[in-house]
Chains A and B, each alone.
Chain A
Amino acid sequence: MTADALDPVIHAPARLRIVVTLAALPDGDSLSFTRLQDVLELTPGNLITHLRKLEDAGYLVTDTTGNGRASRTSIALTREGRAAFGRYSEALRALLGSA
């Protein structure tokens, strides 16, 4: 097995940390943008860019409520995102086991 087997959407430091953090929450729970940013210590622009890539792949959903400064964005892993993270972990373990 080679590193190509690792999902390229997840296999980037910031996105891996985002997925791991969201996967630590129980299924169905979501996390606010500001808390996620606080936990990961990423700049808003950086976080938004990576969230978009994960969202485009169908691995997470974002939900924004309110307008302007009062707006609140929640982020949650989708079932597909959890499954992809599971496959990524398995592939990573298999890769390291065969190394």
Chain B
Amino acid sequence: MQGTHESDETTSNEDAGELDPREAARLLDEASRHARRQFSLSPPWITVFGAVVVLVAYGALWLSTRGQDPYTGPSLGAIALVYAAVAVSVAVSVKVYRRATAGVRGPTRRQQTVEGVAILISYLGSAVIQGAMKHHGASDAIVYGVIPAAGPLIIVGTTVAGIAGSKSDWPQFGAALGVVTGGIVAAFVGPSAAWLAAGIGLFVAVVGYAAATAWLDRRVPQHA
């Protein structure tokens, strides 16, 4: 076994002392919460941060297209802001993922990789539909408004709902359905307002997910 082989004095003394059942219950809950925080891939603070980034990015897209007649699509500045926001989100997510999975081995990591690939493919599916629409002569309002705003939410949201449902992760399942609903609303409110509807839908769903997980973390001890 790794490490030194000396035994601390505390070790030999520990078994001799009585551990009060109430103290044991407190220790169990505290250790459960600590462990969940250590291994969590989506801690509430990072989830809320992601929601704010999403709101800013979609808000910029909406502001850059608001009042366009005819609709031509988001400005390059807004698109650059979105890419910057995505880059920051990805960097933070990778850091959180590495920290959470450091030293962890087993089937869960492989499963997470498969899930990540499935989500990436479904996101690319939305881009394929956008390209096909352009190819078949759809208007800019559809190609640069409705499809890129609503498509990823509906397609990726459905994929995530399927993954969450298969794992009985009901907070994530509910959030994914919220994202899909936001995408459906965005599909019918017009090309510019689609960005706003998508941004608000994503923000509400993600903040709701963070609140639900934080509440469950406080309310449900792991041993219950």
Chain A positions near chain B (C-beta within 8 angstroms): 3, 6, 8, 11-14, 16-17, 20-21, 23-26, 28-39, 43-51, 62, 64, 71-74, 76, 85, 89, 92-93, 95-96, 99
B222–A47 CB distance below 8 A: no
Give the residue of A3, A26, A44, A50 whose beta carbon is less than 8 angstroms from that of B21.
Answer: A3
Q: Specify the main secondary structure of chain A where it touches its partner.
A: helix
- With most chain A CB atoms within 10 A of its CB, the pick from B3, B5, B222 is B3
Interface string of B1-21 (1 = CB under 8 A from A): 111111110110011001101
Given A24-B222, A25-B39, answer yes or no on A46-B11 (Cβ-Cβ < 8 Å).
yes
Given A31-B103, A31-B104, A89-B223, answer yes or no on A45-B24 (Cβ-Cβ < 8 Å).
no
Chain B positions near chain A (C-beta within 8 angstroms): 1-8, 10-11, 14-15, 18-19, 21-22, 24-25, 27-28, 31-32, 34-36, 38-39, 102-109, 222-224
Given A26-B108, A92-B223, answer yes or no on A6-B3 (Cβ-Cβ < 8 Å).
no
Enumerate chain B residues within 8 angstroms of A28, measured Cβ to Cβ: 106-108
Instruction: Give the distance in Å from the alpha carbon of A89 to the alpha carbon of B29 in the complex.
Output: 11
Instruction: Give the distance in Å from the alpha carbon of A46 to the alpha carbon of B24 in the complex.
Output: 19
Give the residue of B3, B22, B34, B108 whose beta carbon is less than 8 angstroms from that of A45.
Answer: B3
A93–B105 CB distance below 8 A: no
Instruction: Please name the 10 residue pairs, one residue from A and one from B, whose CB atoms are nearest each other, closest first.
Output: A35-B103, A44-B3, A29-B106, A32-B103, A89-B223, A24-B35, A20-B31, A45-B6, A46-B8, A33-B2
A29–B108 CB distance below 8 A: yes
Given A25-B108, A46-B11, answer yes or no on A92-B24 (Cβ-Cβ < 8 Å).
yes
Give the residue of A23, A38, A48, A76 whose beta carbon is less than 8 angstroms from that of B222.
Answer: A23
A–B complex contacts, Cβ < 8 Å, 6 sampled: A17-B27, A20-B31, A25-B104, A46-B8, A64-B2, A92-B25
A36–B103 CB distance below 8 A: yes
Which residue of chain A has the shortest Cβ distance to B103 in the bound complex?
A: A35
Enumerate chain A residues within 8 angstroms of B105, measured Cβ to Cβ: 29-32, 74
Enumerate chain B residues within 8 angstroms of A49, measured Cβ to Cβ: 7-8, 11
A95–B39 CB distance below 8 A: no
Instruction: Give the distance in Å from the alpha carbon of A49 to the alpha carbon of B19 in the complex.
Output: 18
A48–B1 CB distance below 8 A: yes
B35–A39 CB distance below 8 A: yes
Give the residue of A12, A47, A93 whose beta carbon is less than 8 angstroms from that of B14.
Answer: A12
Give the residue of B3, B4, B27 whose beta carbon is less than 8 angstroms from that of A13.
Answer: B27
B2–A72 CB distance below 8 A: yes
B24–A16 CB distance below 8 A: yes
B15–A17 CB distance below 8 A: no
Which residue of chain A has the shortest Cβ distance to B8 in the bound complex?
A: A46
A35–B31 CB distance below 8 A: no
Instruction: Return B100 CB to nearest CB of chain A, in Å.
Output: 10
Instruction: Return A79 CB to nearest CB of chain B, in Å.
Output: 14
Instruction: Return A81 CB to nearest CB of chain B, in Å.
Output: 14
A16–B27 CB distance below 8 A: yes
